Amino acid sequence: MAGLLDHIRRRIQLEGPMSVAEYMHLCLAHPEHGYYRNRDPFGEGGDFITAPEISQMFGELVGLWAVAVWESLGAPNPVQLVELGPGRGTLMSDALRAANQAPAFLDALKVNFIETSPILGETQAAALSEFGPSWHEDLTSLAAGPAIFIANEFFDALPIRQFERSAAGWQERLIGADSNGDLQFQLSPPQHTNPYIPSTLETLPGGAVFEINTAAQGMVGEMTSRIVGEGGAALIIDYGYVEGSNVDTLQAVKEHAYHNVLQAPGDADITAHVDFSAISMAALDGGAQIYGPVGQGNFLRSLGIRERAQQLSANASERQAADIGSALNRLTTPDSMGDLFKVMALTSSGGPMPPGFE
Ligand SMILES: C[S@@+](CC[C@H](N)C(=O)[O-])C[C@H]1O[C@@H](n2cnc3c(N)ncnc32)[C@H](O)[C@@H]1O
Q: What are the tens digits of pLDDT across the range 105-115?
A: 999 999 999 99
Per-residue pLDDT reduced to its tens digit, 309-356: 999 999 899 999 999 999 999 999 999 999 999 999 999 988 899 999
What is the DSSP secondary structure assignment for residue 119, as one 8-state letter?
H
Residue 76 to residue 145: CA distance in whole angstroms:
9
Q: How confident is the model at residue 141 (pLDDT cuts 50, 70, 90)?
A: very high
Specify the ligand 1 atom closest to the Cα of 152: 6
How large is the angle between the packed helices 305-314 and 318-332, nearest 10 degrees? 170
Q: How much is the pLDDT for 12?
A: 97
Measured CA angle at 124 (ends 261, 63), to 5 deg: 100
Task: Name the percent of the chain lying above pLDDT 90.
Answer: 87
Asked if residue 249 lies in contact with residue 272, where contact means CB atoms within 8 angstroms, the answer is yes
Distance of CA 195 to the CA centre of its chain: 25
Q: 116 in helix, strand or coil?
A: coil
DSSP 122-188: HHHHHHTGGG--EEESSGGGSPSS-EEEEEES-GGGS--EEEEEETTEEEEEEEEE-TTS-EEEEEP
Contacts of 306 by beta carbon, 8 Å cutoff, 6+ apart: 328
Q: Whose CA is nearest to atom 2 of ligand 1?
A: 87
Task: Name the percent of the chain lying above pLDDT 70.
Answer: 100
pTM of the model: 0.96
CA of 152 to the centre of ligand 1 (A): 8
Cβ-count burial 149-174 (b if 16+ within 10 Å, e if not) = bbbbbbbbbbbbbbbbbeeeebbbbb
Indicate the burial class of 343 (C-beta count within 10 angstroms; 0-12, 13-18, 19 or more).
buried
Q: Whose CA is nearest to atom 24 of ligand 1?
A: 85
Contacts of 338 by beta carbon, 8 Å cutoff, 6+ apart: 295, 296, 297, 298, 331, 332
Cβ-count burial 93-132 (b if 16+ within 10 Å, e if not) = bbbbebbeebeebeebbbbbbbbebeebeebbeebbeeee
**Hey, what domains does the chain have and what are their CATH numbers?**
1-33+158-215+243-273 (no CATH), 39-157+216-242+274-348 (3.40.50.150)
Q: 254 in helix, strand or coil?
A: strand
Per-residue pLDDT reduced to its tens digit, 162-208: 999 998 889 999 999 999 999 999 999 987 777 788 888 888 899 99
Across residues 292-296, what is the average pLDDT? 97
Q: What's the whole-number average pLDDT of the chain?
A: 95
- Ligand 1 pocket, CB under 6 A: 28-29, 36, 50-53, 85-87, 91, 114-117, 120, 152-154, 157-158
Q: How confident is the model at residue 1 (pLDDT cuts 50, 70, 90)?
A: low
Per-residue pLDDT reduced to its tens digit, 255-289: 999 999 999 899 999 999 999 999 999 999 999 99
Specify the ligand 1 atom closest to the Cα of 42: 9
* CA distances from residue 129 to 92, 102, 109 in whole angstroms, order as listed: 12, 19, 14
Specify the ligand 1 atom closest to the Cα of 85: 12
Specify the ligand 1 atom closest to the Cα of 51: 8
Q: How much is the pLDDT for 207?
A: 93
Q: 237 in helix, strand or coil?
A: strand
Contacts of 221 by beta carbon, 8 Å cutoff, 6+ apart: 282, 283, 285, 286
pLDDT for 81 beyond 70: yes
Asked if residue 67 lies in contact with residue 105, where contact means CB atoms within 8 angstroms, the answer is yes
Q: How confident is the model at residue 39 (pLDDT cuts 50, 70, 90)?
A: confident
Residue 53 to residue 331: CA distance in whole angstroms:
11
Q: Whose CA is nearest to atom 17 of ligand 1?
A: 116
Across residues 64-78, what is the average pLDDT? 97
Q: Whose CA is nearest to atom 27 of ligand 1?
A: 87
